[in-house]
Amino acid sequence: MKRIFRIISKIVKYSWKKYHFLIPPKQWGPEFRKFKKIVLIGDENSFVDPDNDSKYRRWLKYYDIKSPVEQLEYEPLISFVIPVYNVSRKLLSECLDSILKQTYQNFEICLGDDCSTNEETTATLKEYEAKDERIKVVYRKENGHISKASNSALELATGEFVAMMDNDDVIPDNALYEVVKVLNEDKDIDMIYTDEDKLDLDGKRCCPHFKSNYAPDTLMSLNYFCHFTILRTSLLRKIGGWRVGYEGAQDWDLFLRFTEEAKKIYHIPKILYHWRMVPGSSSVTVDSKKYAAIASKKLLEDALKRRNIDGIVHSHESVPYYWIEYLYKKEPLISIIIPTKDCASTLNTCLESVYKSNYESYEVLVVDNNSEEKETFALFEKYSKKYKNFKVIKAEMEFNYAKINNLAVKEAKGDYILLLNNDVEVITPDWLSLMVGYAMQKHIGAVGAKLIYPDKTIQHGGVVLGVDGVAGHAFRSEPLNSLGVFGRLCVPYNYSAVTAACLMIAKEKYLEVNGLNELLKVTYNDVDFCLKLQKKGYYNVFLPMVQLYHFESKSRGLENTPEKMERFKKEEKYMYDNWEKEIENDPMYNEKLSRIALFRLRTDEIKENK
């Protein structure tokens, strides 16, 4: 009975969220098949909560799949660089044994002992040093902390690549093979990082971290690379290795400097590192290293200075992560484009909130798409008389969201474009200054914001491809105070797309990708737009510190008529025809994560273990 109740509850929630119970007859068959896949075969066969340790370990039995070992043409020497200090024999032995058991054997182990006072540590080092000639140890005469110990180990390295690892962690026996396999496919890669999980105090696997592909703005919020990370040795030496004075966050500092030099960065979506949860370690709690917070802020400030970017580093009060407030000497002109048709009260709420902004250099372009009500024209007249930076543009045509916005962009005077729905209300007074700061960065394409339903739940927290078909909003209907997975609702994160309900971009980048696609009249034009930017090499970013209420679909209504459904299907087909690869495997998400329940583990391909 409990299971039946859970299934009915899921069906009710899904039907309300997607269709408000108004499911067209044509959709009954497809939706029934989707429900059968989602719920009727049971939760454990549709998605798994990675925070549930027992379910995660069960998931590993099916999904922790190793590539078959084949002969590789290119076999570079990999140098493990490991700082060592007073680690127990048991943990150090397990670390070294996990390397020695690798299926790929062209490696060396370079250990930098930081003047350990534990005789068990030095005895273990000497034992392994004598056991295998590939193990090299430098015994420092004085304790210099982790950066100096790492650099001492780096001096011993002769390999083409360096593999970073801690002295008490372990790697699976296929870790190096998976790395070298990728290098055989592209020898120009300078950096490789992988997914990871942790070993609890009983040595059991838990707490997985499934990462996105390279995301520079995410990396400015937190060190999501961590380990297992492979770096080209020549570049590592070029940047000077690890810097003293950044202990506790020395790897993060290294990664930021390294990515400034690296031409190609590659992510392997497999768990190839097991981070041990040792009491006092930052793997257990960040609070165990208070000095890490000081170092983190310092390294971010250094990165901004090094890149000749003016900005302020803010630490988040609820998560141990950071966000950047980008500064500029002069406010650039922002053109705020708001398409509308009647709904004067809704538009007035939007405009009132816009004009409360603490940013001065902007113009408001309201695009009137066939309004008929006198209240609407009275509102236009009111704002035209009150504000010199208010203008109404006529768009007397069939509703085409893309075409309407493109029309307004042609008349926009600003260097930056803000696409804005008429059914939103700005909450954050400095929203424009924060968003334009990001839009001004050379590598950034579209900038999105956190949108909130009137009931104080999340409407938009970034867009993930492949959800509900083409794409869906992350963290939809989550409570407003939700932190998000790894702080995604707290600090800036890169996503493949953000919603055009509130989207800012430099005008030159808007025009570079030919604006919004007018073939996509209503749906997915923003996703298509963001993917065009991503294809050009730009990164789209979600800013959770910028918040607006979104009274969704007030002026357009729901997509529930036969005509609208037919149009929707055509636009959906266009997206699959042009972006199928990205939809099937969102580079800013992870292929191991579910498209049914976001940030849960996917098991839709699982086969019962006979």
Evaluate whether 161 touches 237 at the Cβ level (below 8 Å).
no
- The pLDDT value recorded for residue 609 is 36
- Asked if residue 492 lies in contact with residue 542, where contact means CB atoms within 8 angstroms, the answer is yes
pLDDT single digits (tens) 472-484: 999 999 999 999 9
Beta bridge partners of 337: 365, 419
Span 44-61, mean pLDDT?
82
Going by pLDDT thresholds of 50, 70 and 90, the confidence category of residue 11 is low
Distance CA 182, CA 76 (A): 12
Determine the Cα angle at 84 with ends 83 and 86, to 5°: 155
pLDDT in tens, 377-429: 999 999 999 999 999 999 999 999 999 999 999 999 999 999 999 999 999 99
Which candidate, 32, 132, 148, 34, places its Cα nearest to that of 85?
148
Answer for the pair 495, 460: CB distance below 8 angstroms, yes or no.
Answer: no
Q: Are 271 and 64 in contact (CB under 8 A)?
A: yes
Tell me what pLDDT residue 281 has: 53
What are the tens digits of pLDDT across the range 221-276? 999 999 899 999 999 999 999 999 999 999 999 999 999 999 999 999 999 999 99
Q: How far apart are CA 49 and CA 2, in angstroms?
A: 19
Q: Where do the domains of the chain lie?
A: 78-306, 334-584
Residue type at position 7? I
For 442, the 3-state DSSP assignment is coil
- For 323, the 3-state DSSP assignment is strand
Measured CA to CA, the distance from residue 530 to residue 535 in angstroms comes to: 9
Token pair in block for residue 316: 């988040």
Report the distance separating Cα 594 and Cα 23, nearest Å: 24
pLDDT at 195 over 80: yes
| Residue with tokens 């995660």, as numbered in its chain | 56
Report CA-CA distances (Å) from 323 to 228, 347, 494, 563.
Answer: 25, 32, 13, 44
Q: How far apart are CA 233 and CA 541, in angstroms?
A: 31
pLDDT of residue 606: 45
Mean pLDDT, residues 25-54 taken together: 62
Q: What is the pLDDT of residue 603?
A: 80
Residue among 509, 499, 329 nearest 416 (CA)? 509
| 44: pLDDT strictly greater than 90 | no
CA 17 to CA 472: how far, in whole Å?
Answer: 12
Query: In angstroms, what CA-CA distances link 31 with 18, 142, 338, 590?
Result: 11, 67, 34, 25
Contacts of the segment 64-72: beta carbons below 8 A, 24+ positions apart = 64/271, 66/172, 66/174, 67/174, 67/177, 67/178, 67/181, 69/103, 69/174, 69/177, 72/104, 72/177, 72/180, 72/181, 72/184
Tell me the CATH number of domain 78-306, given options 3.90.550.10, 3.30.700.30, 3.30.1600.10, 3.20.20.450.
3.90.550.10
Give the residues across from 191 on adjacent strands.
231, 265
| Separation between Cα atoms, residue 389 and residue 316, nearest integer Å | 35
Peptide bond into 390 cis (omega under 30): no
Residue tagged 């890490």 (tokens): 292
206 pLDDT band (50/70/90 cuts)?
Answer: very high
C-beta atoms surrounding 8 within 10 Å: 11
The pLDDT assigned to 63 comes to 85
- Average pLDDT over the chain, rounded to an integer: 91
- Strand duo 334-340 + 322-326: pairing: unpaired
Q: How far apart are CA 549 and CA 155, in angstroms?
A: 55
Residue 67 has pLDDT above 90, yes or no: no
CATH topology of domain 334-584: Spore Coat Polysaccharide Biosynthesis Protein SpsA; Chain A (3.90.550)
Cβ atoms of 343 and 314 within 8 Å: the answer is no
- Amino acid at residue number 202: D
Looking at residue 562, its pLDDT comes to 81
Strands (E), 341-395: 362-368, 390-394
Task: Say if CB 489 and CB 450 are below 8 A apart.
Answer: yes
Q: Is the pLDDT of residue 537 over 60?
A: yes
Task: Tell me the C-alpha distance between 56 and 145, whole Å.
Answer: 35
Question: Residue 39 pLDDT more than 60?
Answer: no
**Do 334-584 and 78-306 have the same topology in CATH?**
yes
| Residue 174, H or E segment | none
Q: What is the rounded average pLDDT of the residues 122-129? A: 98
Report the pLDDT value the prediction gives residue 540, as an integer from 0 to 100: 98
Alpha helices (runs of H) in 221-342, residue ranges in sequence order:
233-238, 250-259, 290-306
pTM, to two decimals? 0.90
Banded pLDDT at 66 (limits 50, 70, 90):
confident
Give the mean pLDDT of 120-140: 98
Q: For position 43, what pLDDT does the model report? A: 46
DSSP states of 488-523: TTTS-EEESB--TTEEEEEHHHHHHTTSS-TT-SSS
**DSSP designation for 243:** P
Mean pLDDT of the region 504-529: 98
| Helix boundaries (H) for 283-391 | 290-306, 344-354, 374-386
Amino acid in position 50: P
Residues β-bridged to residue 376: none
Question: What is the sign, positive or negative, of the torsion defined by CA atoms of 93, 99, 103, 107?
Answer: negative
Name, of 283-292, 297-306, 595-604, the range with top average pLDDT.
297-306
Range among 106-120, 551-565, 593-607 rated most confident = 106-120
